[in-house]
Amino acid sequence: MAKADITAKAIDYSLSNWRALTHYLDDGNVPIDNNAVENSIRPLAVGRKNWLFVGSQQAGERAAVMLSLIESAKLNGHDPWAYLKDVFERLPTLKNRDLESLLPHNWRPADKAAAPVVPAAATAVAATAELSFAE
């Protein structure tokens, strides 16, 4: 294939996917690249041959769930060991309606779970209000 053909294919691809490729410009929460995801799945991709021998379909699905939880915990800034230990300790007594609180993006350690989460901005506003009344 000629070099010009490869370049033309790349340009056609970009133009046909322009909206998706520029979505990050419309939403500041969307990262410009997916490096975080690629770095988190690299250990799985490197060991892919090993996963062919997990034993059964069910074992493979369980391994996938556990690895997804571990990587999601890392992505949310949690120590995976502490996260899983806390989740497994709380699971037997948790009601079904509260399971969502154990997902990595919602999880708070058991000792901090009861305390309400106050955004930093609200804390700063409250502190400023206290200072202005104290003067």
* pLDDT tens across the length of the chain (135 residues): 677 789 999 999 999 999 988 888 898 888 888 888 888 778 777 766 666 777 888 888 888 888 888 888 998 999 999 999 999 999 999 999 999 999 999 999 877 655 444 444 444 444 434 443 343
Q: How remote is the C-alpha of 133 from its chain's centroid?
A: 41
Q: 100-132 burial, b for 16+ CB within 10 Å, e for fewer?
A: eebebeebeeeeeeeeeeeeeeeeeeeeeeeee
Could you list the residue range(s) of the whole structural domain that residue 93 is in? 41-134
Question: Would you say 86 and 79 are in contact if contact means Cβ atoms under 8 Å apart?
Answer: no
* 52 and 111 share one domain: yes
The reported pTM is: 0.51
Looking at the fold, whether 57 and 26 belong to one and the same domain comes out as no
Number of structural domains in the chain:
2
- Residue 55, Ramachandran bin (φ over 0: left; ψ between -120 and 50: alpha; else beta): left
